Amino acid sequence: MKKRSTIAEFEKRSVLLFAALTLGTAGSVFAQSTATPATSPQDQEIGAVFQQADKNGDKSLSAEEARELPAVSGQFTQIDANQDGAISAAEFMLAMKGGKPRAQ
């Protein structure tokens, strides 16, 4: 059985490490918007990484923007689930979580 678009655990960690390193001031911004109960701290970290990488702020990552994130860039076509040439926040979130639904 073959999993699709699964990012290796190591690479996932490197992305989260990138988040931790770059959060800095951004962390306080996210701390103010924790009203949504469905959003876990991990979701916020992933969202912060996404925003950092999305240089032009169009809410999607182009191949060029994804180069900031080796773990993403290396699997760009897999993460880009709808194959429109850009990674949306939803596609990014799914990929960072390994594409698996959360256990109930």
Is the distance from CB of 75 to CB of 95 less than 8 angstroms?
A: yes
Between 45 and 54, whose beta carbon lies closer to Ca ion?
54
Interface characters, 75-94, with Ca ion (x: CB under 5 A): -----x-x-x----------
Q: Binding Ca ion by CB under 5 A: which of 56, 64, 70, 77?
A: 56
Based on the shown chain and the rule CB under 5 A, indicate whether residue 58 belongs to the binding site for Ca ion.
Answer: yes
- Which listed range, 15-23, 24-32, 41-49, 72-80, lies at the site for Ca ion (CB under 5 A)? 72-80
- Alpha carbons 40 and 83: distance in angstroms, whole number: 27
What does the alpha-carbon distance between residue 63 and residue 41 come to, in Å, rounded to a whole number? 26
Dihedrals phi, psi of 60, to nearest 5 degrees: -150, 155
User: In the complex with Ca ion, which residue's Cβ is closer, 34 or 77?
Assistant: 77
Closest CA to 51 of 41, 43, 81: 43
Task: Point out which residues bind Ca ion (CB under 5 A).
Answer: 54, 56, 58, 65, 80, 82, 84
